[in-house]
Amino acid sequence: MASDTGAESDLTRITQDIQALKADLARLVEHIKTGASETVSGEASRLYETLTSEGQRQAAALAQSVEEKPLASVLIAFAIGFVSGRILLR
Q: How far apart are CA 4 and CA 10, in angstroms?
A: 10
**pTM exceeds 0.75, yes or no:** no
DSSP state of 40: H
The domain locations on the chain are: 2-89
Q: Which sign does the torsion angle of CA 37, 39, 42, 43 carry?
A: negative
DSSP state of 88: H
Q: What is the pLDDT of residues 3-59, one digit of tens each?
A: 667 778 888 899 999 999 999 998 888 888 887 778 888 888 899 999 999 999 999
Q: Which sign does the torsion angle of CA 11, 15, 21, 24 carry?
A: negative
Q: Which sign does the torsion angle of CA 56, 62, 66, 71 carry?
A: negative
